[in-house]
Amino acid sequence: MSVPFTTGVHRLAPETFAYVQGSRATGYSNAGLVCSGEEALLVDTLYTLDQTRQMLSAITKAVPATDICWVVNTHQDGDHWWGNQLVGDALIVSSTAAARRMREAGPETMEPFLAADTDPRLRAYLEAFDFSGITPTYPTITFTGEMELTVGSRTVRLIEVGPAHTEGDVIVHVPDAGVVYAGDILMFGGHGVIHSGPVGNCIRACDTILDLGAETVVPGHGPVGGKSEVIRVRDYLERVQAHATTAHQQGKSALEAAREFGFDEFSDFANAERVVLNIGAVYRELNGDGTPGMGPLLHQMVELKDTLEAGETA
């Protein structure tokens, strides 16, 4: 089905919705809502309290008399759980791995990126967001592997697919609606980011989503899509893995490899500079010593952005 890439609540199937933020920029994530009678399950909260309040207000208008009983946080990134305090009366669920990392991933981790002496090109990614007032509110229930939740008369499946994008990624499958909420395993229409890896697990997570047979897939960022968009992400990941492996064997840096990536096949993907982060994830796996770290890669990312904007890639 065609779902507009506009900010708001969009119906995917009976009593099944996506909350989409109509931007592919950093920090504008999607969420989901599964209802049955007066009960509801919310997939993810958002980066800031203001964003989350706007989402909850839109949900109240679109789906009146809904009581959010469950919240599922798909992973540890702040744009998927820092609004939890606004739904603190619900039972909050995540994977055990994600819950563990959340305790190291509060809003204070943004302070170095917003400091006055930070590269302004990096600061620009976050300056639009107000992280004040956030009280980290952690999951009250955790699991490994798979878990089923009951929402009214409906069953919702939680499937752990991490470590992949992060250490504890979870996808949310709504079998009776043919819908999957994929978190940041998938970003449609743009280059995603692999924080953890291995990249092979990200590829396998795409296969897991395809094997579920869902017709509608809500990515962590970007427009709602389906099987063809999942396949395109898998193709991109396979291309990144192959290109980075060859470049690593040739002794090239992650930035050199990114400049030689060859973007034509994915020229419609936004945020092309992020490819250096994904190449870096492959390099970390091959190096086996945690290098290159995310800090240096972020600086290489803004260097690559300048290169791409100047049209100087190989």
**Interval 227-285: pLDDT, tens:** 999 999 999 999 999 999 999 999 999 999 999 998 999 999 999 999 999 999 999 99
* Residue 201: predicted pLDDT: 98
Q: What is the 3-state secondary structure (H, E, C) of 118-149?
A: CCHHHHCCCCCCCCCCCCCCCCCEEECCEEEE
* Residue 265: predicted pLDDT: 93
Q: How many CA atoms lie within 13 A of 153 on its CB side?
A: 2
Q: What is the DSSP string of 142-211?
A: EESSEEEEEETTEEEEEEE--SSSSTT-EEEEEGGGTEEE-GGG-BTTB----SS--HHHHHHHHHHHHH
> Does the predicted model carry a pTM greater than 0.75?
yes
* Residue 310: predicted pLDDT: 87
Q: Is the peptide bond before 292 cis (omega within 30 degrees of 0)?
A: yes
Q: Which residues pair with 68 in a beta bridge?
A: 40
* Residue 1: predicted pLDDT: 67
Dist. CA 106–CA 109, nearest whole Å = 6
What residues of the chain score a pLDDT lower than 70?
1, 312-314
Dist. CA 129–CA 149, nearest whole Å = 33
H helix intervals, 43-117: 49-62, 96-102, 111-114
* Residue 116: predicted pLDDT: 78
Instruction: Give backbone dihedrals phi and psi of 209, rounded to 5 degrees, phi first.
Output: -65, -45
pLDDT tens digit sequence for 184-212: 999 999 999 999 999 999 999 999 999 99
* Residue 117: predicted pLDDT: 82
* Residue 115: predicted pLDDT: 86
